[in-house]
Structure 1
Protein backbone atom coordinates (compact mmCIF):
# COMPACT_ATOMS: atom_id res chain seq x y z
CA UNK A 1 0.00 0.00 0.00
CA UNK A 2 1.62 3.27 -1.10
CA UNK A 3 1.49 6.49 0.92
CA UNK A 4 -1.49 8.04 -0.92
CA UNK A 5 -3.52 4.83 -0.67
CA UNK A 6 -2.77 4.64 3.05
CA UNK A 7 -3.81 8.27 3.42
CA UNK A 8 -7.07 7.62 1.60
CA UNK A 9 -7.74 4.59 3.78
CA UNK A 10 -7.12 6.63 6.98
CA UNK A 11 -9.47 9.38 5.84
CA UNK A 12 -12.11 6.80 4.96
CA UNK A 13 -11.83 5.15 8.39
CA UNK A 14 -12.03 8.56 10.13
CA UNK A 15 -15.01 9.65 8.04
CA UNK A 16 -17.09 6.47 8.23
CA UNK A 17 -15.89 4.72 11.36
CA UNK A 18 -15.40 1.48 9.44
CA UNK A 19 -12.71 -0.14 7.37
CA UNK A 20 -14.82 -1.87 4.76
CA UNK A 21 -17.62 -1.00 2.38
CA UNK A 22 -19.91 -3.87 1.54
CA UNK A 23 -23.28 -4.10 -0.09
CA UNK A 24 -25.53 -6.55 1.69
CA UNK A 25 -26.97 -9.18 -0.61
CA UNK A 26 -30.38 -9.26 1.00
CA UNK A 27 -33.76 -7.61 0.77
CA UNK A 28 -33.69 -3.87 0.26
CA UNK A 29 -34.11 -1.71 3.31
CA UNK A 30 -37.79 -0.99 3.73
CA UNK A 31 -39.50 1.83 5.56
CA UNK A 32 -39.44 1.50 9.31
CA UNK A 33 -43.09 2.44 9.19
CA UNK A 34 -43.88 -1.10 8.10
CA UNK A 35 -41.37 -2.79 10.41
CA UNK A 36 -43.25 -4.89 12.94
CA UNK A 37 -40.82 -4.12 15.79
CA UNK A 38 -41.21 -0.38 15.20
CA UNK A 39 -45.00 -0.79 14.98
CA UNK A 40 -45.07 -2.68 18.28
CA UNK A 41 -42.89 -0.10 20.00
CA UNK A 42 -45.03 2.79 18.71
CA UNK A 43 -48.16 0.97 19.91
CA UNK A 44 -46.57 0.57 23.37
CA UNK A 45 -45.73 4.28 23.52
CA UNK A 46 -49.27 5.21 22.47
CA UNK A 47 -50.69 2.96 25.21
CA UNK A 48 -48.37 4.54 27.79
CA UNK A 49 -49.44 8.01 26.72
CA UNK A 50 -53.13 7.06 26.92
CA UNK A 51 -52.56 5.83 30.49
CA UNK A 52 -50.73 9.01 31.44
CA UNK A 53 -52.78 11.67 29.61
CA UNK A 54 -56.44 12.19 28.79
CA UNK A 55 -56.84 11.56 25.06
CA UNK A 56 -59.44 13.75 23.37
CA UNK A 57 -59.96 12.43 19.85
CA UNK A 58 -61.85 9.17 20.49
CA UNK A 59 -59.61 7.29 18.03
CA UNK A 60 -58.40 3.74 18.68
CA UNK A 61 -54.80 2.99 19.66
CA UNK A 62 -54.24 1.58 16.16
CA UNK A 63 -55.47 4.85 14.64
CA UNK A 64 -53.13 6.75 16.94
CA UNK A 65 -50.26 4.55 15.77
CA UNK A 66 -51.13 5.36 12.15
CA UNK A 67 -51.23 9.08 13.00
CA UNK A 68 -47.66 8.82 14.34
CA UNK A 69 -46.39 7.00 11.24
CA UNK A 70 -48.11 9.34 8.79
CA UNK A 71 -47.03 12.44 10.74
CA UNK A 72 -43.38 11.42 10.38
CA UNK A 73 -43.99 10.80 6.67
CA UNK A 74 -44.99 14.50 6.52
CA UNK A 75 -48.58 13.69 5.58
CA UNK A 76 -50.92 16.69 6.07
CA UNK A 77 -53.89 16.32 8.40
CA UNK A 78 -56.28 16.09 5.44
CA UNK A 79 -54.43 13.03 4.07
CA UNK A 80 -54.26 11.40 7.50
CA UNK A 81 -57.99 12.04 8.01
CA UNK A 82 -58.80 10.49 4.64
CA UNK A 83 -56.74 7.38 5.38
CA UNK A 84 -58.37 6.90 8.79
CA UNK A 85 -61.87 7.83 7.64
CA UNK A 86 -62.25 10.61 10.21
CA UNK A 87 -62.41 14.40 10.06
CA UNK A 88 -59.37 16.69 10.28
CA UNK A 89 -60.38 17.92 13.73
CA UNK A 90 -59.99 14.37 15.10
CA UNK A 91 -56.52 14.14 13.53
CA UNK A 92 -55.53 17.50 15.03
CA UNK A 93 -56.77 16.36 18.45
CA UNK A 94 -54.87 13.07 18.09
CA UNK A 95 -51.65 14.87 17.17
CA UNK A 96 -52.01 17.13 20.21
CA UNK A 97 -52.63 14.07 22.41
CA UNK A 98 -49.39 12.58 21.02
CA UNK A 99 -47.37 15.83 21.40
CA UNK A 100 -46.94 15.94 17.61
CA UNK A 101 -47.09 19.70 17.10
CA UNK A 102 -46.06 21.12 13.72
CA UNK A 103 -44.35 24.51 13.40
CA UNK A 104 -47.38 25.70 11.43
CA UNK A 105 -49.61 24.87 14.44
CA UNK A 106 -47.83 27.62 16.40
CA UNK A 107 -48.52 30.36 13.86
CA UNK A 108 -51.20 32.09 15.94
CA UNK A 109 -52.77 35.48 15.13
CA UNK A 110 -51.67 36.68 18.58
CA UNK A 111 -48.68 36.27 20.91
CA UNK A 112 -48.48 32.56 21.71
CA UNK A 113 -46.22 33.24 24.72
CA UNK A 114 -49.03 35.34 26.22
CA UNK A 115 -51.47 32.48 25.67
CA UNK A 116 -48.97 30.08 27.25
CA UNK A 117 -48.89 32.23 30.40
CA UNK A 118 -52.68 32.36 30.52
CA UNK A 119 -52.81 28.57 30.06
CA UNK A 120 -50.29 27.90 32.83
CA UNK A 121 -52.29 30.22 35.13
CA UNK A 122 -55.45 28.24 34.17
CA UNK A 123 -57.30 31.37 33.09
CA UNK A 124 -60.83 30.56 31.77
CA UNK A 125 -61.15 30.46 27.98
CA UNK A 126 -63.48 33.48 27.75
CA UNK A 127 -60.98 35.58 29.70
CA UNK A 128 -58.11 34.36 27.51
CA UNK A 129 -60.07 35.44 24.43
CA UNK A 130 -60.75 38.88 25.93
CA UNK A 131 -57.12 39.30 26.98
CA UNK A 132 -55.84 38.34 23.51
CA UNK A 133 -58.59 40.23 21.64
CA UNK A 134 -59.51 37.09 19.68
CA UNK A 135 -62.58 34.90 19.33
CA UNK A 136 -62.97 32.06 21.80
CA UNK A 137 -62.91 29.32 19.13
CA UNK A 138 -59.49 30.45 17.86
CA UNK A 139 -58.14 30.76 21.39
CA UNK A 140 -59.44 27.26 22.23
CA UNK A 141 -57.66 25.86 19.16
CA UNK A 142 -54.32 27.43 20.03
CA UNK A 143 -54.78 26.53 23.69
CA UNK A 144 -54.72 22.87 22.57
CA UNK A 145 -51.38 23.54 20.84
CA UNK A 146 -49.97 25.27 23.92
CA UNK A 147 -51.23 22.48 26.21
CA UNK A 148 -49.56 19.84 24.00
CA UNK A 149 -46.28 21.79 24.02
CA UNK A 150 -46.41 22.20 27.79
CA UNK A 151 -47.07 18.48 28.36
CA UNK A 152 -44.30 17.55 25.93
CA UNK A 153 -41.84 19.91 27.65
CA UNK A 154 -42.74 18.50 31.07
CA UNK A 155 -42.00 15.02 29.69
CA UNK A 156 -38.69 16.32 28.23
CA UNK A 157 -40.11 15.68 24.73
CA UNK A 158 -39.51 12.00 25.47
CA UNK A 159 -42.47 10.59 23.56
CA UNK A 160 -41.99 12.68 20.43
CA UNK A 161 -38.25 11.92 20.46
CA UNK A 162 -38.88 8.18 20.80
CA UNK A 163 -41.34 8.23 17.90
CA UNK A 164 -38.82 10.15 15.80
CA UNK A 165 -36.03 7.75 16.68
CA UNK A 166 -38.11 4.72 15.75
CA UNK A 167 -39.20 6.17 12.41
CA UNK A 168 -36.11 8.04 11.25
CA UNK A 169 -33.04 6.43 12.85
CA UNK A 170 -32.26 4.05 10.00
CA UNK A 171 -32.56 6.73 7.31
CA UNK A 172 -30.36 9.11 9.28
CA UNK A 173 -27.64 6.52 9.86
CA UNK A 174 -27.55 5.53 6.22
CA UNK A 175 -27.56 9.11 4.97
CA UNK A 176 -24.85 10.30 7.35
CA UNK A 177 -22.56 7.39 6.52
CA UNK A 178 -22.95 7.96 2.80
CA UNK A 179 -22.32 11.71 3.17
CA UNK A 180 -19.26 11.15 5.35
CA UNK A 181 -17.84 8.61 2.91
CA UNK A 182 -18.44 10.93 -0.06
CA UNK A 183 -17.04 14.04 1.62
CA UNK A 184 -13.98 12.29 3.07
CA UNK A 185 -13.01 10.58 -0.18
CA UNK A 186 -13.65 13.69 -2.27
CA UNK A 187 -11.41 15.73 0.05
CA UNK A 188 -8.65 13.13 -0.15
CA UNK A 189 -8.92 12.84 -3.91
CA UNK A 190 -8.54 16.61 -4.35
CA UNK A 191 -5.04 16.43 -2.84
CA UNK A 192 -3.80 13.67 -5.14
CA UNK A 193 -1.62 14.80 -8.01
CA UNK A 194 -2.17 12.67 -11.05
CA UNK A 195 1.04 11.92 -12.90
CA UNK A 196 0.32 9.54 -15.73
CA UNK A 197 2.83 8.96 -18.49
CA UNK A 198 2.43 6.57 -21.41
Structure 2
Protein backbone atom coordinates (compact mmCIF):
# COMPACT_ATOMS: atom_id res chain seq x y z
CA UNK A 1 0.00 0.00 0.00
CA UNK A 2 1.17 3.51 -0.74
CA UNK A 3 1.62 6.18 1.86
CA UNK A 4 -1.39 8.16 0.69
CA UNK A 5 -4.74 6.41 0.66
CA UNK A 6 -7.41 8.42 -1.21
CA UNK A 7 -10.68 8.80 0.69
CA UNK A 8 -9.31 6.72 3.57
CA UNK A 9 -11.59 8.30 6.18
CA UNK A 10 -14.72 7.70 4.11
CA UNK A 11 -13.63 4.18 3.18
CA UNK A 12 -13.07 3.36 6.85
CA UNK A 13 -16.46 4.77 7.85
CA UNK A 14 -18.21 2.81 5.10
CA UNK A 15 -16.39 -0.40 6.03
CA UNK A 16 -17.15 0.08 9.73
CA UNK A 17 -20.85 0.70 9.15
CA UNK A 18 -21.10 -2.31 6.89
CA UNK A 19 -19.43 -4.57 9.45
CA UNK A 20 -21.40 -3.11 12.36
CA UNK A 21 -24.60 -3.83 10.46
CA UNK A 22 -23.55 -7.37 9.51
CA UNK A 23 -21.80 -8.54 12.66
CA UNK A 24 -22.74 -6.04 15.33
CA UNK A 25 -20.70 -3.25 16.85
CA UNK A 26 -19.23 -5.32 19.69
CA UNK A 27 -18.11 -8.15 17.43
CA UNK A 28 -16.32 -5.91 14.92
CA UNK A 29 -12.61 -5.18 15.36
CA UNK A 30 -10.52 -2.32 14.08
CA UNK A 31 -8.41 -4.84 12.16
CA UNK A 32 -11.52 -6.06 10.32
CA UNK A 33 -12.59 -2.51 9.51
CA UNK A 34 -9.17 -1.63 8.14
CA UNK A 35 -8.97 -4.84 6.12
CA UNK A 36 -12.40 -4.30 4.54
CA UNK A 37 -11.42 -0.73 3.64
CA UNK A 38 -8.19 -1.99 2.08
CA UNK A 39 -6.12 -0.05 4.62
CA UNK A 40 -3.96 -0.72 7.65
CA UNK A 41 -4.86 -0.48 11.32
CA UNK A 42 -2.32 2.31 11.58
CA UNK A 43 -4.25 4.25 8.96
CA UNK A 44 -7.45 3.64 10.91
CA UNK A 45 -5.91 5.19 14.02
CA UNK A 46 -4.66 8.18 12.04
CA UNK A 47 -8.30 8.99 11.33
CA UNK A 48 -10.20 7.69 14.37
CA UNK A 49 -9.31 7.30 18.05
CA UNK A 50 -11.32 4.07 18.30
CA UNK A 51 -14.09 2.18 16.51
CA UNK A 52 -16.78 4.17 18.31
CA UNK A 53 -15.50 7.45 16.90
CA UNK A 54 -16.38 6.30 13.37
CA UNK A 55 -19.98 6.94 14.41
CA UNK A 56 -19.39 10.23 16.22
CA UNK A 57 -16.52 11.84 14.31
CA UNK A 58 -18.59 14.67 12.87
CA UNK A 59 -20.31 15.63 16.12
CA UNK A 60 -17.96 18.49 17.00
CA UNK A 61 -18.18 20.00 13.51
CA UNK A 62 -21.96 19.73 13.54
CA UNK A 63 -22.16 21.41 16.95
CA UNK A 64 -19.85 24.21 15.81
CA UNK A 65 -21.95 24.79 12.70
CA UNK A 66 -25.20 24.89 14.70
CA UNK A 67 -23.74 27.21 17.36
CA UNK A 68 -22.16 29.53 14.79
CA UNK A 69 -25.44 29.88 12.87
CA UNK A 70 -27.30 30.73 16.10
CA UNK A 71 -24.60 33.19 17.15
CA UNK A 72 -24.68 34.86 13.71
CA UNK A 73 -28.48 35.27 13.68
CA UNK A 74 -29.70 38.86 13.45
CA UNK A 75 -29.39 40.62 16.79
CA UNK A 76 -33.15 41.13 17.10
CA UNK A 77 -34.03 37.49 16.29
CA UNK A 78 -36.12 35.73 18.90
CA UNK A 79 -34.36 32.69 20.44
CA UNK A 80 -36.52 30.22 18.51
CA UNK A 81 -35.84 32.08 15.25
CA UNK A 82 -32.09 32.03 15.92
CA UNK A 83 -32.35 28.28 16.54
CA UNK A 84 -34.31 27.89 13.30
CA UNK A 85 -31.34 29.39 11.45
CA UNK A 86 -29.07 26.89 13.18
CA UNK A 87 -31.38 24.03 12.29
CA UNK A 88 -31.40 25.14 8.66
CA UNK A 89 -27.58 25.18 8.56
CA UNK A 90 -27.34 21.72 10.12
CA UNK A 91 -29.89 20.19 7.75
CA UNK A 92 -27.74 21.17 4.77
CA UNK A 93 -24.96 18.88 6.05
CA UNK A 94 -27.23 15.85 5.80
CA UNK A 95 -28.52 16.49 2.29
CA UNK A 96 -27.00 13.39 0.64
CA UNK A 97 -26.31 11.31 3.74
CA UNK A 98 -29.59 9.53 4.40
CA UNK A 99 -28.26 5.97 3.78
CA UNK A 100 -25.31 6.62 6.10
CA UNK A 101 -27.58 8.23 8.71
CA UNK A 102 -29.99 5.28 8.60
CA UNK A 103 -27.19 2.74 9.00
CA UNK A 104 -25.55 4.77 11.77
CA UNK A 105 -28.83 5.11 13.65
CA UNK A 106 -29.48 1.36 13.43
CA UNK A 107 -26.04 0.59 14.89
CA UNK A 108 -26.44 3.12 17.69
CA UNK A 109 -29.93 2.02 18.71
CA UNK A 110 -28.75 -1.60 18.91
CA UNK A 111 -26.04 -0.83 21.49
CA UNK A 112 -26.55 0.65 24.97
CA UNK A 113 -23.04 2.17 25.13
CA UNK A 114 -23.56 3.93 21.80
CA UNK A 115 -27.03 5.16 22.79
CA UNK A 116 -25.46 6.66 25.91
CA UNK A 117 -22.76 8.35 23.79
CA UNK A 118 -25.46 9.76 21.50
CA UNK A 119 -27.34 11.19 24.48
CA UNK A 120 -24.14 12.77 25.78
CA UNK A 121 -23.55 14.30 22.35
CA UNK A 122 -27.06 15.77 22.31
CA UNK A 123 -26.68 17.10 25.87
CA UNK A 124 -23.42 18.76 24.86
CA UNK A 125 -25.13 20.32 21.85
CA UNK A 126 -27.95 21.64 24.02
CA UNK A 127 -25.50 23.11 26.54
CA UNK A 128 -23.51 24.82 23.78
CA UNK A 129 -26.69 26.26 22.26
CA UNK A 130 -27.87 27.49 25.68
CA UNK A 131 -24.48 29.17 26.22
CA UNK A 132 -24.77 30.82 22.82
CA UNK A 133 -28.27 32.07 23.57
CA UNK A 134 -27.11 33.47 26.92
CA UNK A 135 -24.34 35.33 25.09
CA UNK A 136 -27.06 36.77 22.88
CA UNK A 137 -28.76 38.13 26.00
CA UNK A 138 -31.37 35.43 26.54
CA UNK A 139 -31.98 34.94 30.27
CA UNK A 140 -32.44 31.67 32.08
CA UNK A 141 -34.44 29.51 32.02
CA UNK A 142 -35.44 30.69 28.53
CA UNK A 143 -31.98 29.99 27.07
CA UNK A 144 -31.92 26.40 28.32
CA UNK A 145 -35.54 25.76 27.39
CA UNK A 146 -35.05 27.12 23.88
CA UNK A 147 -31.83 25.13 23.39
CA UNK A 148 -33.50 21.89 24.52
CA UNK A 149 -36.44 22.64 22.24
CA UNK A 150 -34.08 23.21 19.29
CA UNK A 151 -32.34 19.89 19.89
CA UNK A 152 -35.73 18.16 20.26
CA UNK A 153 -36.95 19.64 16.98
CA UNK A 154 -33.84 18.31 15.27
CA UNK A 155 -34.26 14.86 16.85
CA UNK A 156 -37.91 14.59 15.82
CA UNK A 157 -37.19 15.73 12.27
CA UNK A 158 -34.16 13.46 12.01
CA UNK A 159 -35.99 10.38 13.26
CA UNK A 160 -38.78 10.99 10.75
CA UNK A 161 -36.19 11.55 7.99
CA UNK A 162 -34.44 8.22 8.54
CA UNK A 163 -37.71 6.24 8.62
CA UNK A 164 -37.77 3.60 5.89
CA UNK A 165 -40.75 4.98 3.98
CA UNK A 166 -39.73 8.66 4.23
CA UNK A 167 -38.57 10.47 1.11
CA UNK A 168 -38.95 14.14 2.10
CA UNK A 169 -35.78 16.04 2.86
CA UNK A 170 -34.56 16.68 6.38
CA UNK A 171 -35.00 20.45 6.16
CA UNK A 172 -38.70 20.05 5.37
CA UNK A 173 -39.24 17.62 8.25
CA UNK A 174 -37.38 19.86 10.69
CA UNK A 175 -39.44 22.87 9.56
CA UNK A 176 -42.61 20.83 10.16
CA UNK A 177 -41.40 19.82 13.63
CA UNK A 178 -40.58 23.45 14.43
CA UNK A 179 -44.03 24.53 13.25
CA UNK A 180 -45.58 21.88 15.52
CA UNK A 181 -43.48 23.09 18.46
CA UNK A 182 -44.60 26.66 17.86
CA UNK A 183 -48.23 25.50 17.75
CA UNK A 184 -47.82 23.55 20.99
CA UNK A 185 -46.17 26.54 22.69
CA UNK A 186 -48.95 28.83 21.49
CA UNK A 187 -51.55 26.47 22.89
CA UNK A 188 -53.13 25.58 19.55
**TM-score higher than 0.5:** no
Query: Looking at CA atoms only, which structure, 1 or 2, has the larger radius of gyration?
Result: 1
- For normalisation by structure 2, the TM-score amounts to 0.28
Larger relative contact order (C-alpha < 8 A, sep ≥ 6)?
1
